[in-house]
Amino acid sequence: MISLRDVRVAVPALRPGDPDKVLLDDVNLELAERRIVVIGANGSGKSTLLRLLNGLRLPSRGTVTVDGHDTAKDGKQVRKLVGFIFTDPLSQLLMSTPIEDVELSLRASVRGKAERLARAQALLDARGVGHVAHQSIYDLSGGERQLVSLTSVLAVEPTVVVADEPTTLLDLRNKQALREIFTHLDQQLVFSTHDLEFALLAERAIVVDGGRVVADDEPGNAVAYYRDLMR
């Protein structure tokens, strides 16, 4: 379970003397549902909120805990529990080919190199991207990259997957494939999206506006609220 208590995120102003810029404020959330979506306008604070969940960003005030582990004190443990999928998978693929990237994710759990490589290949096969295992990540299509980064994140066996607008770069077919994967994922999933139809996949929807949570409801109601807000 992820808990955010009295969370504020602020960054120093660009000009000395100006007040800090507040990106999020007064956020109190207990994230227990299996499928949670975060929606809101550009610049409302969605990515900032998601980044708090695995310690990519730390609160300036308040606390964020994952199964009792404080993201500010126990970042290493938190990152084991919470996998993060970026909108642009290139920003998270560390190695030059899919097989190497997934193999790296298996370092902690599988001992021998040969065994790790075989396991990495099997995981890529299972996601339908085994045929590009040895291709440069720069030569993969956006959809292939997204599936490879998902494979790498899941290889660490996190208990929570956080995904920031994971379908933005995908065509209709890959969007549907990802939707299918997300529906059947064992892990708890917290994701953001501008695709309001995709948002309906969740059990709970959090609407962010101007750095505050302005609605927290079942997705049908929350999407209606958001549409009104944008009018």
Ligand X SMILES: Nc1ncnc2c1ncn2[C@@H]1O[C@H](COP(=O)(O)OP(=O)(O)OP(=O)(O)O)[C@@H](O)[C@H]1O
21 touches which of Mg ion, ligand X, none (CB within 5 to 8 A by kind)? ligand X
What does the DSSP assignment read for 56-78? SS--SEEEEEETTEETTT-HHHH
User: Who contacts 50 (Cβ-Cβ below 8 Å, separation ≥6)?
Assistant: 38, 84, 162, 163, 164, 190, 191, 192
Number of shown-chain residues binding ligand X (CB under 6 A)? 11
79 binds, among ligand X, Mg ion, none (CB under 5 to 8 A by kind): none
Query: What are the CA-CA distances from residue 163 to residues 50, 83, 156, 166, 222 (Å)?
Result: 8, 8, 15, 6, 19
**Residue in 44, 54, 71, 188 binding ligand X, rule: CB under 6 A:** 44
Which C-beta is closer to ligand X: that of 35 or that of 212? 212
Contacts of 74 (CB under 8 A, 6+ apart): none
Contact 197, 13 (CB under 8 A): no
Q: Considering the complex, what minimum distance in angstroms separates the CB of residue 211 from ligand X?
A: 7
Structure tokens that stand for 158 in this block: 């996190």
Q: Is 47 in the site for Mg ion (CB under 5 A)?
A: yes
Interacting stretch for ligand X, rule CB under 6 A, among 36-44, 72-80, 112-120, 169-177?
36-44
β-bridge pairing 204-209 and 188-192: unpaired
Mark the segment that binds ligand X (CB under 6 A) among 42-50, 63-71, 122-130, 180-188: 42-50
Structure tokens that stand for 143 in this block:
């959809």
- Assess 48 for contact with Mg ion (CB under 5 A): no
**Positions 27 through 46 that interact with Mg ion (CB under 5 A):** 46
- At residue 143's C-alpha, the angle toward residues 41 and 189, to 5°, is 55
Residue closer to Mg ion by CB (options 89, 98) is 89
Q: Which two tokens stand for residue 200?
A: 């309906």
DSSP conformation class of 41: -
Least distance (Å) between residue 59 CB and ligand X: 14
**Sole binder of ligand X in the list 6, 20, 21, 221 (CB under 6 A):** 21
54 binds Mg ion (CB under 5 A): no
Structure tokens at 176: 């549907």
How far is residue 107's CA from residue 94's CA, in Å, rounded to a whole number? 14
- Binding-site partner at residue 23 among ligand X, Mg ion, none, CB < 5 to 8 Å by type: ligand X
What is the closest distance, in whole angstroms, from the C-beta atom of residue 84 to ligand X in the complex? 14
43 near ligand X, judged by CB under 6 A: yes
Nearest to Mg ion of 46, 145 (CB atom): 46
- Verify binding: residue 23, ligand X, rule CB under 6 A: yes
Query: Is residue 54 a contact point for ligand X (CB under 6 A)?
Result: no
CB 109 within 8 A of CB 116: no
Interface residues with ligand X (CB under 6 A) are 11, 21, 23, 40, 42-48
